[in-house]
Amino acid sequence: MSISKTQIKTSLPYCLYRVDNRFFKTGDKFNTKIRFVKVETTPNRRTQSSQNIETIRDRWGIDAHSDVEIYTDKIFDNKDVDKAEKFTLKLANDFIKTYRYFSPEAVHLIPLTSEDLFGLTILSNGKGIANFTFAGGITVANPLLNHEVSNKIEQAIANKMKIQLWEELMLNANQYLYQTEYRHSVLESIIALELVVSDFIRKVCRKKNISSKAIESYIRDVGLTGNIDTTLRILLSGNQIPDAITLRKCKTSIKIRNAIVHKGKKDVNEKEARDSLEYSKKLIQFLTTLLI
């Protein structure tokens, strides 16, 4: 058996309890194989010597985590730490998706991000590359920020503030983007945009004394699923039109959403998700100022 040219080791912030210690061959051209080893976890919620830094190793259970071993003929050099990290993340996340499919109790597991790879080390062509990270990230205490956030929460509770559904969806879209769930991020951001556009159509049409039945028919038959550029140009005066780039980007994101929903499109990249979130947010901000 030939020796792999590259060995990658890291740890996950959670444990894949239902997987044994076998190697799983990925079937790629680099003869890559991966395995997950269960390791008992010592609780490490806060270091004893510091009150300012938290290192969260395990997001759910604290009984165990999984170490990851990858052997591959793909070669990395000292400049390829990011490439090796992305390679590792893709292998692990692809495996976790399959694991969740066959292990229903693992439904809570979310895709990994770069900060979830605890102590990533690479040995490639006899050369060592290390990328030291804290799983879950490092949170530095900031009393002023804590005070500001706490004040806002206190005021919101006192004022019985209600977070709008579109705002929740945009928060979800941002979370999915962070979790590298790009397809879900696009879906959430465009649904949020559709809600705001629909509300805007209702408001403008009511001002024009258009019947509620006609308004709902227009939203259903045209609305966002039609041409958003044309829809807004009809409803807005010339000096109120959003910038062309925002409209074009939103239109592209809507097409991606439709391809996901109607054609089963699975592959959505990070840029597409970021554009969808960024430009949906811009158009939402533009329209919500007119809704006030």
3-state secondary structure labels for all residues of 209-250? CCCHHHHHHHHHHCHHHCCHHHHHHHHCCHHHCCCHHHHHHH
Q: What is the pLDDT of residue 50?
A: 47
154-178: pLDDT as tens digits = 888 888 888 899 999 999 999 899 8
Burial of residue 166 (CB within 10 Å: 0-12, 13-18, 19+) is: buried
Segment 273-288 shows an average pLDDT of 94
Identify whether the C-beta of residue 133 lies closer than 8 Å to the C-beta of residue 119. yes
Rounded to whole angstroms, what are the CA distances from 258 to 26, 158, 232, 263, 268?
31, 40, 19, 8, 12
* Domain 162-291 -> CATH class: mainly alpha
Within a 13 Å sphere around the CA of 182, how many CA atoms are in the beta-carbon half?
15
Q: Report residue 87 as tokens.
A: 């390679």
Q: Write the CA distances from 176 to 20, 200, 230, 253, integer angstroms.
A: 29, 26, 30, 16
Report domain extents, the chain: 6-138, 162-291
CA distance 63 to 68: 17
One-letter identity of residue 277: L
Q: For residues 193-218, give the mean pLDDT.
A: 83
Considering only residues 109 and 279, tell me which one the structure prediction assigns the higher pLDDT: 279
Contacts of 228 (CB under 8 A, 6+ apart): 197, 247, 250, 251, 254
**Bigger pLDDT: 290 vs 28:** 28
pLDDT tens digits, 218-240: 777 665 655 777 777 777 766 67
Q: What is the pLDDT of residues 28-84, one digit of tens each?
A: 999 999 999 998 866 554 444 444 444 434 445 457 889 999 999 999 987 888 899
Apex 130 CA angle, 127 and 135, nearest 5: 155
Q: How high is the pLDDT of residue 187?
A: 97
Q: pLDDT at position 57, please?
A: 42
- In the predicted model, what is the mean pLDDT of the chain? 83
The pLDDT tens digits of the residues spanning 96-145 come to: 989 988 987 787 788 888 888 888 899 988 888 765 555 555 555 677 87
Average pLDDT over residues 234-253: 83
